[in-house]
Chain A
Amino acid sequence: MTMTTEMHRDDTRATPLLSVRAIEKSFPGVRALSGVSFDVASGEVHALLGENGAGKSTLIKIVSGVFPPDRGEVMVDGNPVNLARPDDARRAGIATIYQELLLFPELTVAENVFMGHAPRTRFGRVDWRTMREKTNELLASLEIYDLQADQIVGSLSVGNRQRVEILRTLSQDARILIMDEPTAALTEYDVTRLFEIVRKLKARGVAVIYISHKLDEIFAIADRVTVLRDGAHVATKPVAETDSAALVQLMVGRRIESLFPKIAAPIGEPVLEVTDLERRPLTRTVSLNVRSGEIVGLAGLVGSGRSELAQTIFGVTPAEGGEIRIAGRKVDIRSPAQARSLGIAYVPEDRGTQGLVRPMTVRENFSLAALAKVAFAGFIDRTSERRLAADGVARFAVKTHSLEQVAGKLSGGNQQKIVLGKWLANQPKLLILDEPTRGIDVGAKAEIHRLMGELAAQGLAVLMISSELPEVLGMSDRVLVMREGRIVAEFSRAEATQETVGTAMMGSRKSVEQAA
């Protein structure tokens, strides 16, 4: 707050707190930003919207001093600031809360809040008492009563950890707060609390830049919204003057006809039949089947055992009992390699750690699960490997400037397309998708849904795990619901609604409360 006092009072109304002018930034082979401008006023929540790869991350990295722009400038209070290092941004009053929270799990709330700028005694030692008191003041000012200054951060819930991170930015007198998909890992209850805090910050005159894929959140919390597409500024509008459909169209640059284009496909013979499958603690006497041409949705709360079931079928954690049949033949799957040779593909939940080898190239990732296809007697044939990858890139419309691009540098949607593509190179009979569209943008999501529909139409059997009910309801021919390691309900496409599936997921009223 020190800088505003030096300014003329009249100016603060006229000039926005933060203003970004004609920013340009290129990386080798990619133009990330071309002339983007936008501004945030004190007390405003400004949402930044765009597909993955639209340039949001690059923009916030420039504003938070991670790297400098090629051209253009950033102004705070109407004065150009040089943000060469993250520390410069901090001094200008800009703080960023990233998706991955940057906290020290072994330390206390107070230590985390004052990391790097702890209050000192006259003798230069850390003044623990003042630190604790100031932390408590901050907690009280945001009306957070379920957090104590002495708690160890590692023991806190994700929602509380995020609150610690917000406190930390406030302890540094941040006036501009950037939040990068803050609700990605939050429960509904924590989202509500986050919004309360954001409103309090607003009332104090903090400018908030809010990045999210979730349109309903933007309508709930933001004042204005700026849409980016392919590194360019598309539009800035007051939230009150727009609606979801218009925003999606601005983001994608075209109309998305249907979010869930399930093609009616002829349903054939069972490809996967599972009987009384056991793998304690989270797979308990599970029986199910998936037929060719069919998409079976597997719904359930986080921790209900859906991924565990998938990984047991795929041989990561082999079954301890029960029977699996693939195309009518009894099989005993002990490893992913074996599952693969039986025609099973598994697109895992966690793209970054399970699906993709991020430091390797697009080409190497595409061929990873299909090395046998491009190798002769153990020797990789580079020409056919590159053809395989080029085919995949074309078929899935992966945006990459070359096959030798490091896969981890692509956007989430493009990474997911590679993981999906690497498995389809094997021409599987059964495709297990675990949260196939988590954390990817609307456009990429629609494309992945379209692909799923097409694949089923070609006779693939698809088992889809998803925590997004609209996705489950929209894509599935049949919906299975898991709870506590068991399949507790089955609905046909016609029977499955938000209510029936949702109730089955929660179980009794008691477990509803536990879930909340």
Chain B
Amino acid sequence: MSEIPLPPIARRAAPWWLLRHETMLAAILLVALVVLGSLNDRFLTLDNLLNQGRLTTEVGLIALPMTFIIITGGIDLSVGSIVGLCAILLGYSWKSFGFPLPLAIGFSLLVGAAAGFLNGLVITRVKVPPLIMTIATLALYRGLAEGISQARSVRGYPQWFYVIGQENLFGIPAQLWLLLIAIVIAGIALDRTTFGRTLYAIGNNEIAARFSGLPVDRTKLIIYTLSGLMAGLSAVVLVSRVTTTRSDMGSGYELDVIAAVVLGGTSIFGGVGSIWGTVVGLAMIQLLKDGLALTGVKGDATIVVIGTVLILSTLVASSLQRRRDGV
């Protein structure tokens, strides 16, 4: 057996069916684009597409670390509440503590990271299942946000702050740059680094990963902290876009985020997934919402369509998986 053929594989070593899943999703996305575009001539315009990119950034930023977390077999349900907490603290520290705005931004990012770090710490040290821990902090962080805000909103930020959420840079929405850079970094990290490999190993067999000397706990701590940090960043972008802070900001984000990640082919059982899939999943959900709205479909019907798409994609994924295992 000395002559093992070295297959010319340079791509990520995902099972072939996963690549197929993502490719198929991209194909469906393309078809949906064409159909929706032919129904409404405002849909397939550069302006509209860029605007949709703007709207999806807040969810997108959180979906990247969520992909990491779900690949390890974990989950983070507290991200929406962290967005709320960070948004409130951004406004509050600026208005009530008198922090200069850049410092307030830094402060709210720090709080986001700390909130995620706390999740990770309890999950790795006390071995509380991620689902339980982040349901608890989902309530806890939202409660803090409401307590601090006392139902007051903060407005009237300086003009430069709105650049992040409302202006264009080189013809592209400013926050979309943030998202694009984050996507590239996350994609490379997952695909090319020992960190990414560790995530897959944890998701597939945590004990063997530990026995192989991989830094399992440290890696988990990093991804939950990252999740909190990105939720903080999402809060900053959101506040800048809507020009105000309220304590209910970001509520329900966790479900949008998880839907995009899972639609993108990341297995909720861990071990399988990619950033590329998450990006397609994000685009799919946002463009379906928009396209249907433009075509005159009502909001509640849109949700029904998105739910159906999610179920169908799961069916396709599991039937592909079965066919592969049945060989």
Contact = CB atoms under 8 A, between A and B. Distances in A.
Contact of A378 (B5, B193, B272): B193
Interface stretch (B6-14, B19-27, B175-183, B251-259): B6-14
A282 B4 CA distance: 44
B208 A364 contact: no
A403 B7 CA distance: 8
B210 interface: yes
A237 interface: no
Nearest to B210: A336
Given A371-B197, A394-B4, A359 B211 contact: no
Interface string A341-357: 10000101000011111
For the side of the interface on B, what is the size category?
A: 20 to 34
Q: Ordered nearest first, which 9 A-B pairs have the shortest CB separation? A: A340-B213, A337-B213, A336-B213, A369-B212, A357-B205, A371-B194, A368-B212, A394-B2, A359-B204
B85 interface: no
B15 to A, nearest CB: 8
Contact of A353 (B9, B192, B208): B208
B192 A336 contact: no
A379 B189 CA distance: 8
A336 B197 contact: no
A397 B2 CA distance: 7
A137 interface: no
Nearest to A402: B7
Contacts of B10: 382
Interface residues of A, number: 47
B193 A67 contact: no
Contacts of B13: 360-361, 363-364, 404
Interface in B201-239: 201, 204-205, 207-215
Interface string A114-131: 000000000000000000
B1 A397 contact: yes
Given A353-B208, A378-B194, 5 more contacts: A364-B13, A375-B193, A379-B193, A390-B6, A394-B1
A398 interface: yes
Interface of B: 1-2, 4-7, 9-10, 13, 15, 192-195, 197-198, 200-201, 204-205, 207-215, 271-272, 326-327
15 contacts: A27-B327, A337-B213, A337-B215, A346-B211, A354-B208, A354-B211, A360-B201, A364-B13, A368-B208, A368-B209, A368-B214, A371-B197, A398-B1, A404-B7, A406-B15
User: Which residue of B5, B192, B213 has the most chain A CB atoms within 10 A of its CB atom?
Assistant: B213
Contacts of B198: 371
Nearest to B11: A382
B201 A422 contact: no
User: Which residue of A67, A340, A357, A360 has the most chain B CB atoms within 10 A of its CB atom?
Assistant: A357
A393 interface: yes
